[in-house]
Structure 1
Amino acid sequence: MEIVLFEELASTQRYLTQQIKAKKLNAPVAVRVKKQTQGVGSRDNGWESDEGDLLFSFALNIDTLPLDLPLSSTSIYFAYLMREILDTKPCDKVWFKWPNDIYVKNLKIGGVITQKVGEILICGMGINLTPKVSFGYLDTDKSAQVIFLEYLKAFLNPPSWNDIFSKYRIEFYKNKSIFSHIDGHYVDLKDAILQDDGSLIINNKRVYSLR
């Protein structure tokens, strides 16, 4: 995978999307930045970050993804893969909140967004590695660059969706005490039923992880 590093960008996600559309960069490629000034979160919200946090986006050809991976659940797949790399200290209790957030205990430390451009999937990710006022952060001895390279290495032999989902299913109970933003509303997940494709059944309605 080609790796492009910057000292500063407005947004790795916007930059990579523009470069892919203009055919100036080709998948597979990853873009990491030390400082991001206009980070993008889910639902087009901003993502505040500081130098030292892990901030990157990557693009993969869809036909190189695991054959059993539902495109509607790529955010779950990519986020849980990162969760496994980050969860090196049991005391940190890193877990994944449906559909695209990474938490330590009860505080959000990161998130994932994905978008499709033709037959290419572009994923953006931000992980707090420095202390924040309103959010959590991961207390780790690993640098952003080390975590970044470990994450990309996972795609040399990516796990199947079934491998990832079987682990996430066991941990999904942690979502039962929280609310998730769905279709413009905060929805209680206490009665949500996780489906094999990563979607949820809530009040007899199927909801997908489209972020």
Structure 2
Amino acid sequence: MQILEFDCIESTQIFLNEGIRKGELKPPIMVVAKRQSGGIGSRGNLWENVKEGLYFSFALPMETLPQDLPLESTSIYMGFIFKEVLQEEGSRVWLKWPNDLYIGKQKVGGVLCARLRDVMICGIGLNLEVTNQGFCGLDIKISKEKILESFIRRLENDKKKSSWKQIFSKYSLEFTNNFNHTFHYNGKLISLCNASLCEDGAILIEGEKIYSLR
């Protein structure tokens, strides 16, 4: 995988999206930034300013994704793999539906995925150190280089092992972590206390099926 590194850009997700759209960049490719001046999170929110963070986006050809992966749940798939990489190093991080990384009751990062023609673009932001009381930093000491190295290794070498079925079976066992939390949907804050997880990664709330990819 080609890796482009920057000291500071507006957003790794925007840079990668525009580069692929114009034909200037081709997958598989990853863009990493030490800082972002306008990092984009879910619902178009600006990524929170933190003292130290890891910001990167990567693009993969659709054909390299697991054949059984529901594309609407790509953020769950990629987020869970990233979470496992951190857990293997001793972190207590968990994946909140649909695309947030949490430690305990506080957000530590997030995952954002979008399809662009025959390419899947995924962005991940992770707080390493924070000054904002509403968020938290990673609970282990580990270099950005080691995180990325381990994550890329998983993406490139474990494709056959990491099918959606296998990822989902593990994620479903942890889904109860969501029950005390909420998520935004159609401009409203919705409780996950009565949510049921479907096999394609969607949730069922009061008879309505909701997917993670908006």
Report the 3-state secondary structure (helix = DSSP H, G, I; strand = E; otherwise coil) of the residue aligned with 1:126.
strand
Report the 3-state secondary structure (helix = DSSP H, G, I; strand = E; otherwise coil) of the residue aligned with 2:67.
coil
Q: How does 1:114-153 map to 2 (within 5 A)?
A: 114-133=113-132, 134-153=134-153
Aligned-pair identity in percent equals 40
Q: CA deviation at 1:179?
A: 1.0
Q: Using structure 2 for the length normalisation, give the TM-score.
A: 0.94
Report the 3-state secondary structure (helix = DSSP H, G, I; strand = E; otherwise coil) of the residue aligned with 1:26.
coil
Q: CA deviation at 1:163?
A: 1.1
Which residue among 188, 194, 203 is the counterpart of 1:191?
A: 194
Report the 3-state secondary structure (helix = DSSP H, G, I; strand = E; otherwise coil) of the residue aligned with 1:129.
strand
Deviations 1:48-83 (A, max 9, x none): 234641100000011110011000000000111111
For the 8 Å contact 1:54–1:145, the answer to whether it is kept is no
Aligned counterparts of 2:89 and 2:131: Cα–Cα separation in 1? 20
- The residue aligned with 1:162 is 165
- The residue aligned with 1:111 is 110
- The residue aligned with 1:63 is 63
- The residue aligned with 2:100 is 101
Question: Is the counterpart of residue 28 in structure 1 residue 35 in structure 2?
Answer: no
Q: Which runs of 5+ in 2 are unaligned?
A: none
Q: Using structure 1 for the length normalisation, give the TM-score.
A: 0.95
Aligned counterparts of 2:182 and 2:73: Cα–Cα separation in 1? 19
Structure 1 letter corresponding to 2:33: V
Report the 3-state secondary structure (helix = DSSP H, G, I; strand = E; otherwise coil) of the residue aligned with 2:69.
coil
C-alpha RMSD over aligned residues:
1.3
**Residue range with higher mean Cα deviation, 141-150 or 160-169:** 141-150
Q: CA deviation at 1:131?
A: 2.4
Structure 1 letter corresponding to 2:98: P
For the 8 Å contact 1:95–1:104, the answer to whether it is kept is yes
Runs of 4+ in structure 1 displaced over 4 angstroms? none
Deviations 1:153-200 (A, max 9, x none): 111122111111111000000111111111211111111110000001
